[in-house]
Amino acid sequence: MPEVDGAALVRRLGVMEPELTRRVVFISGGAYTSETRGFIETVPHLVLEKPVRPEVLMASVDAALDARDEEREPVVARAGGDVTAGGC
């Protein structure tokens, strides 16, 4: 995104509509700065790494739309569809 990154967007959303932040799914090309890596490790959002298989994307969107207030640890879906907990 040219004017704002995903971290800034979800922070702003947290101020404006905090109940919607649990529905955020990040899609990344995997080029993480240390700041971005730190952010991803501290938020309970799903992170999909490109390329994302269509069925993984659709399941992730479905899960985000069904999101409840429950806490969960960050999950990263790696290229090829492998999923790891803990955001690493």
Domain membership of residue 24 (yes or no) is yes
The pLDDT score that the predictor gives to residue 87 is 46
The pLDDT score that the predictor gives to residue 12 is 92
Domain membership of residue 52 (yes or no) is yes
Low-confidence ranges of the chain (pLDDT < 70): 1, 31, 68-88
Domain membership of residue 70 (yes or no) is yes
Q: Report the domain count for the chain.
A: 1
Domain membership of residue 1 (yes or no) is no
SS3 82: coil
Domain that holds residue 25: 6-85
The pLDDT score that the predictor gives to residue 83 is 52
Provide CB contacts within 8 A for 78, sequence distance 6+.
49, 84
Domain membership of residue 77 (yes or no) is yes
